[in-house]
């Protein structure tokens, strides 16, 4: 039986990062993966979707070339080549992880892993052969998959999840997107930009319901302007796939409506991969589809840990990576601080992009804070005007008493690259006054953070 210091089950952005950090700390490390290195994020999530969205953005530029004084006659796209580019990008990233495994002398074990009692993992290869490995520490990082609702069973052809949405053989003329979280709105934007007629159906009163309401309203305006149909406070009660396409019965406050489309994308959240991986055999405690862990990702059974989507924290790639690093550093005996889950940035890569960290305005009020709120629209930004990307704004929320930066919410071009300023500033307990007096470069999109802060303190110049 092969013996390791650390075995990581799963090689997504949680698993492979954990394995690399473990190796750096001197642990003999192995990672077990049943599909491709990099997991869902690199192969079927974060990375390939961004490649699709970039193609959509370039196509949008071509269609609006005249706005920039340029002439492009009859811009068109080859849908299959757009998909192929996305797959090539994902393949390249997965090969990059293979290189990192070799560089860090990490053993990659291909197969389906199940944890066993006594700090063991049984791995079944594609040919059905089972091999048992042991380790002092076993870290579960098996991630999640598309969640299926009883009313929306996925057949992979007419009712699909995000995997199929990335590799459709041909572009649909009409698409229904159920759910308007990050996955839903990113695919809605992509297909709409490509020329598909898109309808979004959202159960909650606002699209992107976890975001600040002002952000939700702005995205709805932008999406409607681009030709999408938005249905909020709406629920798909049944689907009919017996005909050529799909018919979805949607229940709203006004009654029932039947939508017809070529394909329906179910983007109603994720389901953790915790079934059939041996948790019950070991006695690892779960609750509501999540593995319960402490601040350092230890389960209730010594020697077994869990990180990423399978634990109660936010299901985000950067969170899984941070959890894995903290987990192995704690195992190594380093002094580590528990992650502050109140300072996790969230990013959505539709157009306009969305980025946020901290409390929404409503959450700050509900928490009893007296607040100062500043909002700076990109329509007043010189850089945004020059770039032709005036949709959106930066909104900041400060505690009126001490100046603590409670929340930052952005929607606009490139804001996913801007949110880190707020994350770092909040980590350093920076005040609104310090942000206001920190000189931001002009003209940039990022100076909108300073301008929004100035608005909160009644000192705004350009509005």
- Using alpha carbons, list the distances in angstroms from residue 25 to 13, 325, 332: 18, 10, 7
Does residue 300 share a domain with residue 258? no
**What pLDDT score does 42 carry?**
80
Instruction: Sort strands 353-358 and 346-348 into parallel, antiparallel or unpaired.
Output: antiparallel
**317-331 helix and 15-24 helix, angle to the nearest 10 degrees:** 30
Instruction: Flag whether 153 is in a domain.
Output: no
Torsion of CA 360, 361, 364, 366, to 10 degrees: -110
Instruction: Flag whether 462 is in a domain.
Output: no
Per-residue pLDDT of the chain (463 residues; tens, 9 = 90+): 689 999 999 999 999 999 999 999 999 999 999 988 888 878 888 899 999 999 999 999 999 999 999 999 999 999 999 999 999 999 999 899 999 999 999 999 999 999 999 999 999 998 999 999 999 999 999 999 988 888 899 998 999 999 999 999 999 999 999 999 999 999 999 999 999 999 999 999 999 999 999 999 999 999 999 999 999 999 999 999 998 999 999 999 999 999 999 999 999 989 999 999 999 999 999 999 999 999 999 999 999 999 999 999 999 999 999 999 999 999 999 999 999 999 999 999 999 999 999 999 999 999 999 999 999 999 999 999 999 999 999 999 999 999 999 999 999 999 999 999 999 999 999 999 999 999 999 999 999 999 999 999 999 988 8
Element (H, E) at 82: helix 79-103
Show the tokens assigned to 228: 């999408």
**What pLDDT score does 43 carry?**
83
Does residue 377 share a domain with residue 317? no
Instruction: Flag whether 421 is in a domain.
Output: yes
Instruction: Flag whether 292 is in a domain.
Output: yes
Q: Residue 245 sits in which domain range?
A: 159-268
Residue found by looking up tokens 């370039």 in the block: 58
Does residue 284 share a domain with residue 385? no
Q: Do the beta carbons of residue 350 and residue 42 sit within 8 Å?
A: no
Does residue 224 share a domain with residue 289? no
**What pLDDT score does 151 carry?**
87
**What pLDDT score does 374 carry?**
97
As a whole number of angstroms, the distance between CA 155 and CA 265 comes to 11
**What pLDDT score does 104 carry?**
96
The number of folded domains in the chain is 3
**What pLDDT score does 302 carry?**
97
Beta carbons within 8 Å of 233's beta carbon, 6+ residues apart:
202, 203, 204, 205, 252, 253
Does residue 139 share a domain with residue 48? yes
As a whole number of angstroms, the distance between CA 102 and CA 256 comes to 56
Sign (positive or negative) of CA dihedral 10, 140, 180, 175: positive
Write down which residue in 217, 233, 268 finishes a domain.
Answer: 268
CATH of the domain at 437: 3.30.390.30
Residue found by looking up tokens 């006594």 in the block: 118
Does residue 95 share a domain with residue 238? no
Phi-psi category of residue 383: left, alpha or beta, with phi > 0 → left and psi -120 to 50 → alpha:
alpha
Instruction: Flag whether 291 is in a domain.
Output: yes
Does residue 164 share a domain with residue 141? no
Write down which residue in 268, 286, 319 finishes a domain.
Answer: 268
As a whole number of angstroms, the distance between CA 461 and CA 463 comes to 6
Show the tokens assigned to 329: 């550093």
**What pLDDT score does 402 carry?**
95
Q: Which of 64, 409, 433, 442 is catalytic?
A: 442
Does residue 390 share a domain with residue 300? no
Instruction: Flag whether 345 is in a domain.
Output: no
Catalytic, 442? Answer yes
3-state helix, strand, coil in the chain (%, to 5): 35, 25, 40
As a whole number of angstroms, the distance between CA 412 and CA 64 comes to 18
Does residue 380 share a domain with residue 239? no
As a whole number of angstroms, the distance between CA 27 and CA 6 comes to 7
* Bridge partners of residue 9, in order along the sequence: 32, 140
Residues in the chain: 463
Element (H, E) at 9: strand 2-9
Pick the closest to residue 41 from 185, 167, 144, 111 (CA basis): 144
Q: Do the beta carbons of residue 142 and residue 10 sit within 8 Å?
A: yes
Show the tokens assigned to 426: 């909040």
Q: What ranges make up the beta strands (E) of 183-254?
A: 197-201, 229-231, 235-240, 246-252
pTM of the entire structure? 0.94
Instruction: Flag whether 339 is in a domain.
Output: no
Instruction: Flag whether 342 is in a domain.
Output: no
Write down which residue in 215, 246, 268 finishes a domain.
Answer: 268
Residue found by looking up tokens 């007629």 in the block: 197
As a whole number of angstroms, the distance between CA 393 and CA 199 comes to 25
Beta carbons within 8 Å of 307's beta carbon, 6+ residues apart:
14, 15, 18, 139, 140, 141, 293, 297, 320, 323, 324, 327
Does residue 24 share a domain with residue 59? yes
Pick the closest to residue 396 from 345, 430, 357 (CA basis): 357
CATH of the domain at 136: 3.50.50.60
Pick the closest to residue 98 from 25, 16, 24, 196 (CA basis): 16
Does residue 312 share a domain with residue 213? no
Pick the closest to residue 341 from 365, 359, 329 (CA basis): 359
Does residue 195 share a domain with residue 250? yes
Beta carbons within 8 Å of 452's beta carbon, 6+ residues apart:
374, 375, 376, 393, 394, 395, 396
């Amino acid at each position: 039986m092969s013996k390791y210091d650390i075995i990581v089950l799963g090689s997504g952005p949680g698993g492979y990062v954990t394995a690399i950090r473990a190796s750096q700390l001197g642990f003999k490390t192995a990672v077990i993966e049943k599909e491709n290195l990099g997991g869902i994020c690199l192969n079927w999530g974060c990375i390939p979707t961004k490649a699709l969205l970039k193609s959509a953005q370039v196509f949008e530029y071509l269609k609006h070339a005249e706005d920039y004084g340029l002439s492009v006659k009859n811009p068109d796209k080859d849908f299959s080549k757009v998909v192929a580019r996305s797959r090539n990008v994902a393949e390249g990233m997965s090969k990059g992880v293979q290189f990192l495994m070799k560089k860090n002398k990490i053993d990659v074990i291909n197969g389906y892993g199940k944890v066993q009692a006594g700090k063991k993992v049984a791995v079944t290869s594609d040919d059905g052969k089972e091999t048992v490995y042991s380790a002092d520490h076993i870290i579960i990082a098996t991630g999640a998959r598309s969640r299926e609702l009883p009313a929306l069973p996925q057949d992979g052809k007419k009712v699909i999840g995000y995997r199929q949405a990335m590799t459709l053989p041909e572009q649909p003329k009409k698409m229904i997107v159920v759910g308007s979280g990050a996955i839903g709105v990113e695919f809605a934007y992509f297909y709409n930009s490509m020329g598909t007629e898109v309808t979004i159906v959202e159960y909650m009163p606002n699209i992107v319901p976890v975001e600040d309401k002002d952000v939700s309203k702005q995205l709805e305006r932008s999406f409607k302007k681009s030709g999408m149909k938005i249905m909020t406070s709406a629920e798909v009660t049944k689907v009919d796939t017996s005909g050529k396409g799909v018919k979805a019965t949607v229940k709203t406050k006004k009654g029932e409506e039947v939508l017809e489309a070529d394909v329906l994308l179910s983007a109603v959240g994720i389901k953790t991969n915790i079934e059939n991986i041996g948790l019950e055999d070991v006695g690892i405690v779960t609750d509501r589809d999540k593995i319960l862990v402490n601040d350092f990702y230890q389960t209730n059974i010594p020697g077994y840990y869990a990180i990423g989507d399978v634990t109660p924290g936010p299901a985000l790639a950067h969170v899984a990576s941070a959890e894995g690093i903290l987990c192995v550093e704690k195992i190594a005996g380093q002094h580590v601080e528990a992650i502050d889950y109140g300072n996790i940035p969230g990013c959505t890569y539709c157009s306009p992009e969305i980025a946020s960290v901290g409390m929404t305005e409503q959450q700050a009020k509900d928490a009893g804070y007296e607040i100062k709120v500043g909002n700076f629209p990109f329509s007043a930004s010189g850089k945004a005007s020059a770039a032709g990307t005036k949709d959106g704004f930066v909104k900041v929320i400060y505690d009126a008493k001490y100046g603590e930066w409670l929340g930052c919410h952005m929607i606009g071009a490139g804001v996913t690259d801007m949110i880190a300023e707020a994350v770092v500033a909040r980590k350093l307990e920076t005040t609104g006054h310090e942000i206001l007096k920190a000189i931001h470069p002009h003209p940039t999109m990022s100076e909108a953070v300073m301008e929004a802060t100035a608005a909160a303190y009644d000192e705004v110049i350009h509005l």
